[in-house]
Amino acid sequence: MKTIFTLAITIAVFFANATVFTVVNTNDSGTGSLREALTYANYYPGTGHSVVFNIPLSDFGYNTVTGVWVIQPLSVMPYITKSGLLVDGTTQTSNQGNTNLYGPEIMLDGNNNSIDFGFFVSNASNVLIKGFIVSNFLYGIQIFGPQTQNCIVSGNYLGTNAAGSDTLGNFVGVEIFGGAKFCTVGGTTSAERNLVSGNEHIGIRVFDATDNIIIGNYVGIDRTGSFAKGNYDGISIEGTAKRNKIGGAASGEGNLVSGNVAYGIPVFGAGCDSNIIMGNIVGLDAGGVYAIPNTYGLLFDDGARYNIVGGLGAGQRNIFSGNSGYGIFLYNLGTCCNDVVGNYIGTNISGTIAVPNANGITIDGVATNHYIGHNVISGNLQQGIVIHITGSDGHIIEKNYIGTDASGTNPLPNGFDGIRLAEGVKNNVIAENIIAHNLSNGVHVMTATDINNKISQNSIYANGTLGIELQPLGVTQNDAGDIDNGPNMLMNFPVVLLCEYEQATGWLHVSGSLDTPSPETCLIELFKSDNDPTSYGEGQIYIGNINADAQGYFDAWLYAGNNIAAGDYLTATATDAQGNTSEFSLNAFVENFVGVPLSKKPLSVFSCYPNPCKNFLTIEYSIIKGEKTEISIYNAEGKKIIILFIGNKTLGNYTETIILQNNELNFIAAGKYFIEFTEGSSSRNIVEFIVF
């Protein structure tokens, strides 16, 4: 009777404080067990319930060596279906002391993957799970359901031992799926960080779920951020996962994703759109100094599109370095239109020392229309960027440092070519990059089916062989009439016959010829040469562009400022109307102009590419008067629909890229349009372009 009375008092007290359910033993079930606490919390009325821990040292589940209490379920644990529930393993530390100096005190052990999951949240919102070691399950923690929002998983070890020093893997560490949204895995402090390592398949998986955040975690590495304890894949975004954020620009938001067997961050599926990956270190230690390789750093595959990798802010920058395969891999039919911006690929965290991937960026398997801009892609063992396989078309590569450190000046070479195009790629634009110090070519176009690849306004210098190489290897001499075929149609380069510089005004006089069909449709770009030992290029400083007449002759003045001087060498490229760019021309010595330039007639150059276009249109023009300038777009009926620029600009040469699609301001549907360029009272040019 006394025992029954005592039990009744205990139960009464328990229910009198129903919002707090205390786990007091490591039993699989029964009074005071985790199973019972979760069951009561799910069904008890009200919200704001908590499951806390106060298990004594005398409990049979306490491991005196590791300092953790081990709960080993004999069957599947209850789903968590109560919104607002806090499941707090850190309360064991508060109540019994910090017995595990290396991590949490409460461990859930799934008995060699024989139990489905450690915790499963099903259609419940605002659930917080923190402070556990969850290992040896099929799934460590699962968060599921279209009714599930704003759940948090933080401060856990998923797939490791108690010390976070070795593997004890689940099949998957954390999985968010089935429409769950606005959930967070991790946090910005070390206490909120999850250690997700040693899992047999995936560390963190987001599948058919939107608007979730994964920040501040260590994935594939030990608790110190120093040694590989790999998952097979690190953080995987799959299916129709949209608008998820991996990392972030604020302090502590970036994930460390290193040491994984295959991919650090794979993103694959035709519905994987508009995800953001920024501020992460992928392939290095926590300090960003030495390699702890994944095989591949980042993968976009199977139709992933419109995702953003990095950003222009320093905090948005990802580091993809030290990986044994590619830093970034853009792959497969349907994968398109992803932006890779502002990242360090092949360097340490400061962008000053090489920590190589095999290739920096590889685009392959009919992936199309990516934007690669403002990155440092240097120090890699092979190519900085390689684009290959027929159909891998339409990429824009601009404003990157390829072969230099983050300052853009010091050598940090890639082991072969800065950029390599091969096996049938077309309609790519390589513009305004610094491509220098690479041990082979600056830009290498390899096969006869690699055509219509525009190489424009880059600073290309000090590479090991040629600045621009159109195979066969070595300088390819011009042929009469330019009727041969090959990489970029083996476009003939210009022949510069006279080059004079007027120091007092900064104007440059250039004359020569271009032997090619329809030379008046070609763009001739002029560069200060680094006086390569071959005497052909390389074009180190872009000066401007001019056009030839219908017979292929050009005689023009253009403003060069202090970009060149008498005694320097000039080189040039030619690009036809389809976008085929030549190798650099034979260097021409720049003489000092001493005559009276009565015939000085500066050319106003205006052109646009690619044409036809879809998402982007780049325009190039020269300002020669400094008077009011207007650049406008007209539709086929002659109605002005957009003014791109109106105002005054200083003398010089300009390149601007406008977004035609996915832009509320400038959205332009498929059809025929015209760009009009005017400076002062006279119309300089009207160019027709097609949007498809």
Mean pLDDT of 249-262: 98
Instruction: Please report which helix (H) or strand (E) contains residue 635, including its range.
Output: strand 628-635
Q: Tokens 């919102």 appear where?
A: 125
28 pLDDT higher than 60: yes
Please tell me the CATH code under which domain 490-592 is placed: 2.60.40.3580
Residue 241, helix vs strand vs coil? coil
Tens of pLDDT, residue by residue over 52-70, are 999 999 999 999 999 999 9
How big is the chain by its Cα radius of gyration, in Å? 31
Kind plus residue range of the DSSP H or E element containing 653: strand 652-659
∠ CA 364-437-444, nearest 5°, is: 35
Alpha carbons 254 and 188: distance in angstroms, whole number: 8
Write down the pLDDT at residue 13.
38
At 152, phi and psi to the nearest 5? -130, 135
Mean pLDDT of the chain: 92
Instruction: Indicate the SS3 state at residue 521.
Output: helix
pLDDT of residue 343: 98
Q: Which residue spans of the chain are classified as CATH 2.60.40.3580?
A: 490-592
Q: What is residue 10's predicted lDDT score, i.e. its pLDDT?
A: 35
Whole-number Å distance between alpha carbons of 99 and 63: 10
- Residue 673's pLDDT is 85
CB under 8 A, 24+ apart: contacts of 186-189: 186/153, 186/154, 186/213, 186/214, 186/215, 186/216, 186/217, 186/255, 187/152, 187/154, 187/155, 187/215, 187/216, 187/252, 188/215, 188/216, 188/250, 188/251, 188/252, 188/253, 189/216, 189/252
pLDDT classification of 2: cutoffs 50, 70, 90: very low
3-class secondary-structure state, position 201:
coil
At 630 the pLDDT is 85
At 602, the pLDDT band (50, 70, 90 cuts) reads low
Distance CA 516, CA 492 (A): 7
Dihedral pair phi/psi, residue 665, rounded to 5°: -75, -45
648: its two tokens: 């005054």
Listing DSSP states for 354-407 in one string gives: B---SEEEEEETT-B--EEES-EE-S-SS-SEEEESTT----EEES-EESB-TT
The stretch 288-303 carries a mean pLDDT of: 98
Does the pLDDT at position 266 exceed 70? yes
pLDDT tens-digit profile of 332-382? 999 999 999 999 999 999 999 999 999 999 999 999 999 999 999 999 999
Location of structure tokens 């009469």: 480
Question: Contact at 8 Å (CB) between 525 and 575?
Answer: yes
CA dihedral 90, 96, 97, 99 (to 10 degrees): -90
Higher-confidence position of 672 and 588: 588
pLDDT score, position 667? 63
**Read out DSSP for 172-198?**
EEEEEETT-BS-EEE-SSTTT--EE--
Decide if pLDDT at 561 tops 60: yes
* pLDDT, position 631: 87
Which range (157-171, 458-472, 480-494, 631-645) has the least confidence? Answer: 631-645
Q: How far apart are CA 50 and CA 661, in angstroms?
A: 49
Mean pLDDT of 168-193: 98
**Whole-angstrom distance between the N-terminal and C-terminal Cα of the chain?**
86
Residue among 175, 147, 154 nearest 83 (CA): 147
Using pLDDT thresholds of 50, 70 and 90, give the confidence band for residue 557.
confident
Paired residues of 336 in beta bridges: 305, 368
User: Is the distance from CB of 116 to CB of 139 less than 8 angstroms?
Assistant: yes
Tens of pLDDT, residues 649-668:
877 778 888 877 544 445 67
Percent with pLDDT over 70 in the chain: 94
Model pLDDT, residue 638? 75
The pLDDT confidence band at residue 195, using thresholds 50, 70 and 90, is very high
CA-based nearest residue to 260, from 188, 206, 190, 199:
199
CA distances from 42 to 26, 52, 83, 88 (A): 20, 14, 8, 15
> Are 368 and 399 contacting, i.e. CB atoms less than 8 angstroms apart?
no
Mean pLDDT of the 82-98 span:
97
CATH number attached to the domain at 606-691: 2.60.40.1930
**Start-end ranges of CATH 2.60.40.1930 in the chain?**
606-691
Give the Å distances, CA to CA, from 15 to 6, 85, 656: 14, 16, 69
Q: pTM to 2 decimals?
A: 0.86
Report d(CA 35, CA 173) in Å as an integer. 21
Q: Give the residue among 351, 349, 343 at the shortest CA–CA distance from 298.
A: 343
Give pLDDT tens digits for 396-452.
Answer: 999 999 999 999 999 999 999 999 999 999 999 999 999 999 999 999 999 999 999
Q: What pLDDT score was predicted for residue 596?
A: 62
d(CA 552, CA 565): 26
What's the CA dihedral at 443, 446, 450, 452 to 10 degrees? 30
Q: Taking 70 as the threshold, does the pLDDT of residue 599 lie above it?
A: no
